[in-house]
Structure 1
């Protein structure tokens, strides 16, 4: 009987140690996952900062203006399309805020960041399309704008350094910047919360063990 009791106690002790080891491995994996999430969030912050936050901060297209369509034209010489192919250049000239001086209108800010010739182009097409498809796309845009000559529509202008340019819409806005920062923030908070919960669980486990030992000692001393 005593041997069976010792075997039972040994089996219970071995099971407790196995359960504790499995719990420790799971906690270590959870902590590793949390730190990995935080590391990836830092990398995402860097990528979002370079592609979204920095262009938004450096953006100078903050003035709401009114543009009056003056004329459209397709240049004979095709321009480089992001180093992939070439495309026809559609120039759109508008009057800005009732001024008699014409400025070049662009779809967004990306068209102005290219070479001098490309800065006159209204928009950058899909560079993966064939030359015929690119020409048809630009021609359709020109036909749609030709019937709207003299019409007024809202646009954005900049005092410096793009005095002779205007954009129809802003690509880098506050809402897009905040949306881009949302995902790395969630990953950072999730990783930190995961590590914090594991550490809290470990601390509560140690505290429970200490309280159990104190109660056991107190019970033994009373006996």
Structure 2
């Protein structure tokens, strides 16, 4: 009977081992996919860092525009219209300002990118064929700017790089650079956390398997010892009867 119990326990342990192997194979596939997803997220985050660094962070670092105060003395609509993408021509509104603290005048433009345009226009309407609509649109903007004439307003100047231009708004700011870096940081952290959790789960599973195998080995030794003692007692009792 002890031998039968030992065989049953061995069979049960064998079935449990097979179930454990199938469970480990299923879990290993899921873990490999999770690790692959984590490394993919980290790779995309590095690519996003590269793109954001070129398009946002580098222009902010290279920007030398400093805050100043400007007075708007004059606005003009040029008689010669500007070519618009080879489709039509549009009127050009120029705004001349004087920087407070200096006797020099400069052209006011909307942001840093407008400075590099071939013309010095503060406002250009969208391309369309309706000349009357274009004139009305530019006149509305000119009327709004004329309402700010002789009033001091905030602007940004770069006396070394662009002495003949001032801008109304800065496009590349610290807030925009930090916001652009937020998403790649979140993706990098998420990928690293995913890989770390999978590795931690694997270590815990390996530790649990070692503990379980150790406890099974102890039970097998105990059952084998009990069966051997039972056979010895049975043999001694038979000898005493004889």
Distance 1:209 1:25 in 2: 18
Q: Which has the larger radius of gyration?
A: 2
Query: For residues 154 and 203 of structure 1, what CA distance do their matches in structure 2 show?
Result: 60
Shift of 1:146: 1.4
3-state SS of 1:60 partner: coil
- How many Å apart are 1:221 and its aligned residue? 4.8
Q: Is the 8 A contact 2:71 2:151 kept in 1?
A: yes
**Correspondence for 1:17:** 21
* Secondary structure of the corresponding residue to residue 180 of structure 1: helix
1:102 matched to 2:105 = yes
Distance 2:88 2:37 in 1: 44
> Residue deviations 1:6-64, cap 9 Å, x none?
88766554433322221111101101110111111111111111111111111111x22
TM-score when scaled to structure 1?
A: 0.84
Corresponding position of 1:216: 216
Q: Once the 2 structures are TM-superposed, how far is the Cα of residue 216 of structure 1 from its aligned partner?
A: 3.5
Shift of 1:77: 2.9
**Distance in 2 between residues matched to 1:145 and 1:168, nearest whole Å:** 12
TM-score after normalising by structure 2: 0.78
Q: Helix, strand or coil: the match of 2:166?
A: strand
Structure 1 residue 211: Cα displacement: 2.5
**Please, which runs of 5 or more residues in structure 1 have no aligned partner?**
none
RMSD over aligned Cα atoms = 2.8
Residue 106 of structure 2 corresponds to residue 91 of structure 1: no
- Kept in 2, the 8 Å contact 1:94–1:102? The answer is yes
Alignment correspondent of 1:139: 139
Q: Assess, with a 3 A threshold, how the Cα gap between structure 1 residues 86 and 185 changes in structure 2: closer, same or farther.
A: farther
Deviation string 1:117-162 (CA, Å, 9 cap, x unpaired) is: x2x111455x5x5244554433321111112211111111112110
Change (3 A) 1:191 1:147: same
Local SS of the residue matching 1:45: helix
Separation of aligned partners in 1, 2:105 and 2:64: 19
Task: Report the counterpart of residue 79 of structure 1 in structure 2.
Answer: 82
Q: Secondary structure at the match of 1:76?
A: coil
- CA gap of 1:134–1:9, structure 2 versus 1, over 3 A, is farther
> Quick check: 1:44 aligned with 2:48?
yes
Find the aligned partners of 2:121 and 2:35 in 1 and give their Cα distance: 52
Matched ranges for 1:1-223 at <5 A: 12-61=16-65, 63-81=66-84, 87-115=90-118, 118=119, 120-123=120-123, 125=125, 127=126, 129-132=127-130, 134-221=134-221
- The size of the alignment, in residue pairs, is 217
Instruction: Return 5+ residue gaps in structure 2 as ranges.
Output: 226-242
Q: Is the 8 A contact 1:111 1:123 kept in 2?
A: no
